[in-house]
Amino acid sequence: MLWFKSFHIIFVASWFAGLFYLPRIFVNLAMVEPQSLAERDRLLLMARKLLRFTTVLAVPALLLGLCLWLYYGIGLGPGNGWMHAKLTVVVLAVAYHAACARMLRQFEAQAMDRSHVWFRWFNELPVLLLVAAVLLVVFKPF
């Protein structure tokens, strides 16, 4: 079980690294001048590659977490309300990941109208999600 936990933590950390950086690329995309086509294309290429890589990392993170939950019984049974809260955080992280994919498609279609300041705030959400997940797992408050 410790191998599953270890690899789950490694893949979650890697997945979140991508979720931390992808919106930073969006900040730069939102700041690109309309005539700077080469810069826009370069940033879009970086964002596409990072999203693909981040998605590849998310899959084993989620599968290993599911394995720990269902196969090893972590968080099952009475007195494990923390797991329900953590699963909510996981669902929010997956939704954030999907939102990033949707935003990238909007940038590619030149249909994104949000400012770089908005993306700077949006970039803070995965930090809050990761902090919440770690605190729930470590302290198991309920």
Q: What is the pLDDT along the chain (142 residues), one digit of tens a residue?
A: 899 999 999 999 999 999 999 999 999 999 999 999 999 999 999 999 999 999 999 999 999 999 999 888 888 888 899 999 999 999 999 999 999 999 999 999 999 999 999 999 999 999 999 999 999 999 999 9
Residue 47 tokens, joined: 């964002």
C-alpha torsion 10→13→15→21, nearest 10: -140
Residue 41 tokens, joined: 């294309």
Rounded Cα distance, 94 and 107, in Å: 20
Rounded Cα distance, 62 and 90, in Å: 8
Look at residue 74 in the predicted model and tell me its pLDDT: 81
Look at residue 129 in the predicted model and tell me its pLDDT: 98
